Amino acid sequence: MARARQRRARGERAGPTRLTLAPSLRIAAAQALRDQLGEALAAGRPVVLEAAAVEATDTAALQLLCAFVREGRERGIAVEWQAPAPALTRDAGLLGVAALLGLPEPTAVAAEALAE
């Protein structure tokens, strides 16, 4: 923490905060996910959500992610997805929150997979 303050005082910028999301984003892990996302916002740096390993989600986790992305936008903190897993984009699309999260629509993901 002190090093980050020293870098800011000298005008240096740290790289983005990188968060690797767990394979299971379900209500049982919601508190841990909430804490992890809160710490990322508190850092005040851009956030990269590494989501390649996500295999399953539920509404509770997707609501947390929506609140996180919205809060990031309000604070001027960029949130970027790295390799969002098909399960994540599918579930976000089914709930109608893919655009809010900044995820590609599931049909776009499927079209890209077919093109490969």
Residues 24-73 have pLDDT tens digits of 999 999 999 999 999 999 999 999 999 999 999 999 999 999 999 999 99
Domains of the chain with bracketed CATH: 15-115 (3.30.750.24)
For the segment 79-95, what is each residue's pLDDT rounded down to a tens digit?
Answer: 999 999 999 999 999 99
For residues 76 and 44, is the Cβ–Cβ distance under 8 A?
Answer: no
Interatomic CA distance for residues 12 and 69, integer angstroms: 25
Of the candidates 2, 4, 29, which has an alpha carbon nearest to the alpha carbon of residue 16? 4
